[in-house]
Amino acid sequence: MLRGEERATEAENVPPVIPTPHHYLLSVYRHKIFFVAVVQTEVPPLFVIEFLHRVVDTFQDYFGVCSEPVIKDNVVVVYEVLEEMLDNGFPLATESNILKELIKPPTILRTVVNTITGSTNVGDQLPTGQLSVVPWRRTGVKYTNNEAYFDVIEEIDAIIDKSGSTITAEIQGVIDACVKLTGMPDLTLSFMNPRLLDDVSFHPCVRFKRWESERILSFIPPDGNFRLLSYHVSAQNLVAIPVYVKHSISFRDSSSLGRFEITVGPKQTMGKTIEGVTVTSQMPKGVLNMSLTPSQGTHTFDPVTKMLSWDVGKINPQKLPSLKGTMSLQAGASKPDENPTINLQFKIQQLAISGLKVNRLDMYGEKYKPFKGIKYMTKAGKFQVRT
């Protein structure tokens, strides 16, 4: 595993399946942590990888954040949860609502009581969800304020060539829900343009036949936070590129100086503001230093790793941010074979770049009126501009 990490240039590029003489290591990399499963016989890799993702989601639901310090601080609860999720090497209870009845989530008060009394977080009653026809939702849920919020989050992966044309572009989208409703509500969620969605993966609560026939999401939701669905938009004509980069990067033979200039601007954002913009670029080995001036934000260049980083912030369409200056090149070094690639990170609030829009949310089975809310966000995944 460590050798695989050393060979990969980035942690995300470590192979998810690593064979060894006596077993297989299957891993997922999330929150800057590797979660590894060891198997001794051949099993479908996706089965194990999906279970590992479910483990990470459960930890995040239990502790609010999944990080190395949090896992270390709650190592007893982590072991108790894993004992319930995996029985003799087979997944058993993977629904968060059931697990929370079996193993109580840690709180400051519960931690103090457990320390004094020597008790554990293990519940003393069999969870009702295990015996229910709706195993992902516990019975007897009650709230003073009933609310249902949905976040449509899209991540755009793209490669743009040096002339500004799109080589590849696709969207990975998810709809995350936070549902806090009393009783046993039955929800339907409809879209203005559901045909956009391709390669859809649903939470088990979704009635698949209703989606196939009417393109409507019908479900009895779990209590609390959960991922309702994930989807993929691969039709390139449906993927609008929200930003552009103008660039002029030149290296001259037999010269110790090079020129560097880039400008970032909005392209198809439907009037929304692009924020959280950062630009990074791995410069060639022959670049000794860079003397650059940004029109906004801050920049750094590491002469050892040759990594240029520019924290732009928000883009003002009236005054586009630019970064320009000179590069000090190694004397006698030949001109690089390729110009550096520019990597972008950004986010756009209240916009789903695919054009997906929720039409309405209806509730059946309960008589109260809940608060409802929909939020949209687009962010960059692996977004590269070749120069």
Give me the DSSP letters along 354-367.
T---EEEEEEES--
- Cα distance between residue 230 and residue 206, in whole Å: 12
pLDDT at 114: 56
Cα distances (angstroms) measured from residue 118 to each of 82, 102, 223: 21, 18, 30
List, by residue range, all CATH 3.30.450.60 domains of the chain.
2-131
Where residue 239 falls among pLDDT bands split at 50, 70, 90?
confident
Chain centre to alpha carbon of residue 277: 17
When the pLDDT of each residue in the chain is averaged and rounded to a whole number, the result is 87
- Residue 131 predicted with pLDDT over 60: no
The model's confidence at residue 255, banded by pLDDT at 50, 70 and 90, is confident
The pTM (predicted TM-score) of the whole model is 0.81
Query: Where is pLDDT greater, at 107 or 93?
Result: 93
Enter the tokens of residue 186: 């039955």
Write down the architecture of domain 243-349 according to CATH: Sandwich (2.60)
Whole-number Å distance between alpha carbons of 333 and 249: 17
* Residue 90 dihedral angles phi and psi, to the nearest 5°: -120, 135
Task: Identify the weakest region by mean pLDDT among 69-73, 99-103, 145-149.
Answer: 99-103
pLDDT tens per residue across span 357-367 = 999 999 999 99
* d(C-alpha 117, C-alpha 279), whole Å: 53
Amino acid at 351: L
Percent of the chain with pLDDT over 70: 89
pLDDT confidence band for 146 (50 / 70 / 90): very high
Which tens digits make up the pLDDT trace of 53-90?
A: 999 999 998 888 899 999 998 898 999 999 999 988 88
Can you give the pLDDT at residue 138?
78
How high is the pLDDT of residue 115? Answer: 58
Residue 126, pLDDT above cutoff 60? no
Burial of residue 293, with CB atoms counted within 10 A of its CB: 0-12 exposed, 13-18 middle, 19 or more buried: exposed
The confidence band for 118, taking pLDDT boundaries of 50, 70 and 90, is low
CA 328, CA 287: separation in Å to the nearest integer?
A: 6
The Cα 219–Cα 153 span in angstroms is 20
Average pLDDT value for residue range 196-202: 87
pLDDT tier at 133, thresholds 50, 70, 90: low
DSSP state of 104: P
Looking at the domain that runs over 164-239+356-373, which CATH code has it been given? Answer: 2.60.40.1170
Determine the topology of domain 2-131 in CATH.
Beta-Lactamase (3.30.450)
32 φ, ψ (degrees, to nearest 5): 60, 30
Q: What pLDDT is recorded for position 363?
A: 95
333-344: average pLDDT: 85
**Torsion angle, alpha carbons of 36, 39, 43, 45, to 10:** 20
Q: What is the pLDDT of residue 117?
A: 59
Listed ranges 3-17, 170-184, 223-237; the one with the highest mean pLDDT = 170-184
- Measured between alpha carbons, how far is 94 from 104 in angstroms, rounded to an integer? 15
Position 48 pLDDT exceeds 60: yes
Which residue intervals of the chain bear CATH 2.60.40.1170? 164-239+356-373, 243-349
Query: How confident is the model at residue 286, as a pLDDT?
Result: 86
